Amino acid sequence: MDLFKRAKTIRLRSYKDKYLIAEDDQESVCQHRDGTTNNALWTIEFVQGRDLLRFKSCYGRYLTASNNPFLPGATGKQVLQTLPSKFDPAIEWEPLRDGMQVRLRTLWGDFLRPNGGLPPWRNSVTHDIPRWQKSYNKVLWDVEVVEAFPVHRRARSDSTFFKSRSSVSA
């Protein structure tokens, strides 16, 4: 959670050096090498009282772990952008830190997973439970903080400064 404490806007980069992208159809997500577009930016929202996060795309929709299978017969399920609905646990992700990277777990125990290979798997993103140790490391994401909340430092205001100087000179 400490990777996200000061973050306001982030980019998520997979082990294949591709970024999590909100597609223009405002429903699907994918991976792309170009992380400089607005589609690669995700705004962080903290779930009050819990160590959970919500990721909001540039379209105002949330990264959602759906129950729809990505392909019939495959174990991975679709990850979508959806409009917020009240108390929807599918839009909440638990960050599990592993060094300087993070695994994002759904409340059902699945992990946000970048896919590769031949179409239709190429550049897709699903959520699934890694079956092998080799694939367990493939659910790691690098977090790039784009915009952070400012650090508030307590400083003496001008009025305090002038009050203290006027009392000294009197």
Question: Would you state the pLDDT for residue 154?
Answer: 56
Residue 41 — φ and ψ, nearest 5°? -90, 135
Question: Would you state the pLDDT for residue 159?
Answer: 47
In a domain, 1, yes or no: no
Total of domains in the chain: 1
The yes-or-no verdict on residue 156 having pLDDT over 60 is no
For 16-42, how does the pLDDT look when each residue is reduced to its tens digit (9 = 90+)? 999 999 999 999 999 999 999 999 999
State the virtual CA torsion across 111, 95, 52, 33 in degrees, nearest 10. Answer: -70
For 79-137, how does the pLDDT look when each residue is reduced to its tens digit (9 = 90+)? 999 998 777 899 999 999 998 899 999 999 999 999 988 888 899 999 999 887 667 78
For 71-82, how does the pLDDT look when each residue is reduced to its tens digit (9 = 90+)? 887 889 999 999
User: Which residue range is the domain that position 143 belongs to?
Assistant: 7-169
Percent of the chain with pLDDT over 70: 87
Question: Would you state the pLDDT for residue 66?
Answer: 95
- The confidence band for 149, taking pLDDT boundaries of 50, 70 and 90, is confident
Question: Would you state the pLDDT for residue 158?
Answer: 47
In a domain, 69, yes or no: yes
User: Domain with 92 in it: what CATH number?
Assistant: 2.80.10.50
In a domain, 2, yes or no: no
CB 106 within 8 A of CB 65: yes
b/e 146-163 (16+ beta carbons within 10 angstroms → b): eeeeeeeeeeeeeeeeee
